[in-house]
Amino acid sequence: MSQILDGRALARDLRVQIKREVKAMVAAGGPRPKLAVILAGEDPASAVYVRNKEKMAARVGIDAVTLRLPADVPAAALMAEIDRLNADPSVHGILLQLPLPQGISAEEEIALLERVDPRKDVDGFHPDNLGLLMAGRPRFVACTPQGCMRLLEAGGVPLAGRQAVVIGRSLIVGKPIAQLLLAADATVTICHSRTQALAEIVRQADIVIAAVGRPGLVGGDWIKPGAAVIDVGVNSVEGALVGDVDFEAAASRAGWITPVPGGVGPMTIACLLENTRQAALRARPAP
């Protein structure tokens, strides 16, 4: 039976550490970290995520403010909000909650993400931050990939020289996690919607990262005995949350596996808090 990589417990430990460090920073006369979240529209899942972020921020002594904007907000108004937050020295981290409302085009979304001051980009989605990661000098690492790496590390999963297979090539999960695994000396294969013979590739993997958003995509018999399986997928099936991996079957073969829920999800929020603390630490003092 595999070792469960418990994201709830690990996130709790990380929050305890962040709370201690925030307290020490404020006691030493430093700023209290402040996160600004822009939430446009009424996507129910986003509303839950944002509430969780506010709740967790408060627990560690980080101020979190959420700007709630209507679903028909024009891109120009979002741009203006980002500019205002960029210029506000009391704000250390800015997060534009995705997905944006349907009225915002893909091009506008890219422009908005690029408008966030890269030194306040606690999501790590700005091209400057993605580029620094690629260059081996990471500044803000995207929260979900960072959470995956912390889970692997906590489980003591060996990475150097091992075969890692990442399923999914998005800019916010698949590509950055592949980069982090590469930096940890794994041999990395990235698979995606056009990959052929996915099962055969996954069967070679010592580390499997599933980040697609399709329930049951990864069959239990795809898992090499003893492999580490990180399930990033979040899917709602008949009212229940499930990942991309057939958990029961995979758990009977894997060496390590993350549950859904309770695996990557809690780590994503904890890493956001850590990025916000780091942003405050690096912020130039207000003139």
The nearer residue to ligand NAD, 53 or 119, going by C-beta atoms, is 53
134-161 exposure pattern, b = at least 16 Cβ within 10 A, e = fewer = eeeebbbbbbbbbbbbbbbebbebebee
**The token pair that represents 128 in the structure block:** 């400057």
Q: Is residue 213 close enough to count as binding ligand NAD by CB under 6 A?
A: yes
Closest contact distance (angstroms) between CB of 143 and ligand NAD is 7
With CB under 6 A as the contact rule, the residue among 18, 116, 148, 234 that binds ligand NAD is 234
Interaction of residue 201 with ligand NAD, rule CB under 6 A? no
Identify the burial level of 237 via C-beta atoms within 10 angstroms of its C-beta, where 0-12 means exposed, 13-18 middle and 19 or more buried: exposed
CB of 287 to ligand NAD, least distance (A): 37
Question: How far is 224 from 183, CA to CA, in rounded Å?
Answer: 23
Catalytic annotation present for 123: yes
To the query of whether residue 146 is one of the catalytic residues in this protein, the response is: no
Is residue 233 a contact point for ligand NAD (CB under 6 A)? yes
Residue 169 interacting with ligand NAD (CB under 6 A)? yes
> Can you tell me which residue has the tokens 């993605």?
130
Question: In which residue are the tokens 């990395």 written?
Answer: 188
Per the residue annotation, which of 63, 97, 206, 244 is the catalytic one? 97
Is 173 near ligand NAD (CB under 6 A)?
A: yes
Q: Is the peptide bond before 89 cis (omega within 30 degrees of 0)?
A: no
Q: Reply yes or no on whether 185 is catalytic.
A: no
Out of 195, 216, 249, 281, the residue judged to bind ligand NAD by CB under 6 A: 195
268 binds ligand NAD (CB under 6 A): yes
CB 231 within 8 A of CB 219: no
Residue (of 109, 120, 167) closest to 272 by Cα position:
120
Nearest approach, Cβ of residue 46 and ligand NAD (Å): 11
Active site residues: 53, 97, 123
The site for ligand NAD (CB under 6 A) is made up of 144, 167-170, 172-174, 191-193, 195, 198, 211-214, 232-235, 264-265, 268
